[in-house]
């Protein structure tokens, strides 16, 4: 220990060492490798061959549709989940007696514990030819196709990530000071006005957190479009799996990954800046 250095500093270093090792070997190193690979060429039999070329990035427009699908369906899915989740969270937080609150909240979370795979696969039956379309035939509506459409993927998304959205909103509404609501209605505020001016702004941190969580997961989604999109609703995640597991084009896969990461960084930091500017979403609201 050098003269004059405080033992405290050594403690800080010691506490941060494992985390630093992790960041170095599992975040920085892989990202550098991916970045290097993205300038390489596809080896003759597949895989990676060294080189320095912008060819892979030049080829990105051929995956435009996958990027478009993701950039369109991910925000839309996030929004839909919010629309479905908010009233439920509101109901649970403000309208249910304490006795049932915990029970109902647990009921929202329980589905989350069955594997996402199994839950998504249940929808293959429900939306497939023997499911809802057969029911519709009974009442005379024929030829409806639900599975392998963007709609099916959206349903899967809302179903899969609803608990992630309900929970943070519930927490922020739960913390809300009920006397504020009473004061507002005492002062003659209509329920709508009370909601718009008090409840909604105060639940913004929860909304921000929920949307962020769901959006991040959706940008890299693979399973839901794979199962409910039947290869017709392709996300970047699906294009990536395809590049590594079918065409074995590692450099191009690397270039697509790098692009996805850059898009994520830009979108998320813009979003966070927006939230901070509106002063309602604070740093720790992320979780």
Partner 1 sequence: MRIYAIAVFLFLYVPIGIIVLFSFNAGRHASELRGLSVQWYGKALSNPFVGDAFVTSLIVAFSVAILSSLMGTAAALALQRLKGTMRVLFDGLIYISVMIPGIVIGIATLVALVTVFDFLNPLLASIWPEGTKPPKLHMGYVSVIAAHTLFTMSLVIILVRARIAGMDRSLIEASMDLYATPWRTFYQVTLPQIYPAILAGFLLSFTFSFDDFIISFFVAGANTTLPIYIFSSIRRGITPEVNAIGTMVLAVSLILLMTAQFFLRARTNR
Partner 2 sequence: MSKTNDDNKPISAKKFMKYFRSYQKGSISRRHFLGVTGLGTAMTIMGTAIPSLWSGKAHAFPDLGDRLVFSTWPNYWNQVNLDEFSELTGVHIQVNAFGSNEEMLAKLQAGGTGWDVFVPTNYTISNYVALDLIEELDLSRIPNYDAAANNPKFAGPATVNGKVYCVPKNWGTTGFIVNTKKIKSKPKSWKDFFDVTMGKGSGHTIVHDYQLTTIGAALCALGYSFNSIDAKELAEAEALLIKSKPHLFAITSDYQPGMRSGDAWMSICWNGDGTQLNNDLPEMEYVIATDGGEIWSDFYAIPKGAPHLDAAYAFINYMQDPYIQARDAVVHGYAPTDARAIALQPDSLGNDPILHPAAELMNGLEFGAAQTLTDPIRAEVIARFKSA
Q: Write down the residue that tokens 């079918």 correspond to.
A: 246
If one asks whether residue 128 binds partner 2 (CB under 8 A), the answer comes out as yes
39 and 258 in contact (C-beta within 8 Å)? no
If one asks whether residue 185 binds partner 2 (CB under 8 A), the answer comes out as no
If one asks whether residue 239 binds partner 2 (CB under 8 A), the answer comes out as yes
If one asks whether residue 222 binds partner 2 (CB under 8 A), the answer comes out as no
The entry of partner 1, partner 2, none that residue 147 binds, CB within 5 to 8 Å by partner kind? partner 2
**Torsion angle in degrees (nearest 10) through CA of 125, 129, 132, 134:** -130
Tell which phi-psi region holds residue 4, choosing left (phi > 0), alpha (psi between -120 and 50) or beta.
left
* Region near partner 2 per CB under 8 A, out of 4-12, 73-81, 225-233, 264-272: 225-233
What stretch of H or E contains 74?
helix 64-90
Judged by beta carbon, residue 198 or residue 239, the one nearer partner 1 is 239
If one asks whether residue 142 binds partner 2 (CB under 8 A), the answer comes out as no
Please, what is the minimum distance in Å from the beta carbon of residue 71 to partner 1? 13
* Region near partner 2 per CB under 8 A, out of 63-71, 200-208, 263-271, 272-280: 63-71
Q: What is the DSSP string of 127-185?
A: HSTTSHHHHHHHTT------TTSHHHHHHHHHHHHHHHHHHHHHHHHHTS-HHHHHHHH
The entry of partner 1, partner 2, none that residue 88 binds, CB within 5 to 8 Å by partner kind? partner 1
The entry of partner 2, partner 1, none that residue 44 binds, CB within 5 to 8 Å by partner kind? partner 2
Interstrand relation of 41-42 and 48-49 (parallel, antiparallel or unpaired): antiparallel
If one asks whether residue 129 binds partner 2 (CB under 8 A), the answer comes out as yes
Cα Rg, the chain, nearest whole Å = 24
If one asks whether residue 248 binds partner 2 (CB under 8 A), the answer comes out as yes
176: tokens are 């809300």
Please, what is the minimum distance in Å from the beta carbon of residue 222 to partner 1? 5
Judged by beta carbon, residue 221 or residue 242, the one nearer partner 2 is 242
If one asks whether residue 101 binds partner 2 (CB under 8 A), the answer comes out as no
Judged by beta carbon, residue 117 or residue 187, the one nearer partner 1 is 117
Please give the span between the terminal C-alpha atoms of the chain, in angstroms, as a whole number: 38
| Contacting residues toward partner 2, per CB under 8 A | 42, 44-47, 62-63, 65-66, 124, 128-130, 133, 145, 147-148, 230-232, 234, 238-239, 242-249
């Amino acid at each position: 220990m050098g003269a004059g250095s405080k033992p405290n500093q050594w403690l800080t270093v010691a506490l941060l060492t494992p985390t630093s090792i992790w960041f170095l070997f599992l975040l920085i190193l892989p990202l550098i490798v991916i970045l290097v690979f993205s300038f390489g060429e596809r080896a003759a039999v597949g895989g990676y061959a060294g080189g320095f070329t912008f060819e892979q990035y030049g080829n990105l427009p051929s995956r435009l549709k996958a990027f478009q699908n993701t950039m369109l369906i991910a925000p839309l899915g996030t929004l839909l989940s919010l629309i479905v989740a908010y009233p439920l969270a509101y109901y649970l937080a403000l309208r249910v007696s304490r006795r049932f609150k915990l029970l109902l909240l647990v009921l929202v979370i329980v589905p989350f514990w069955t594997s996402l795979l199994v839950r998504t696969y249940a929808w293959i039956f429900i939306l497939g030819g023997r499911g809802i379309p057969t029911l519709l035939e009974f009442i005379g509506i024929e030829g409806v196709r639900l599975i392998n459409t963007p709609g099916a993927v959206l349903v899967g998304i809302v179903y899969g990530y609803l608990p992630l959205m309900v929970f943070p909103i519930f927490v922020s509404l739960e913390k809300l000071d009920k006397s504020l609501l009473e004061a507002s209605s005492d002062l003659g505020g209509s329920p709508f006005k009370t909601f718009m001016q008090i409840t909604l702004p105060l639940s913004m941190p929860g909304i921000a957190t929920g949307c962020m969580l769901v959006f991040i997961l959706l940008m890299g989604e693979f399973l839901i479009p794979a199962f409910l999109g039947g290869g017709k609703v392709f996300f970047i995640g699906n294009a990536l799996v395809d590049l590594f597991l079918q065409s074995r084009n590692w450099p191009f896969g690397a270039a697509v990954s790098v692009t996805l990461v850059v898009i994520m960084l830009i979108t998320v930091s813009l979003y966070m800046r927006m939230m901070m500017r509106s002063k309602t979403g604070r740093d720790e609201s992320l979780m």
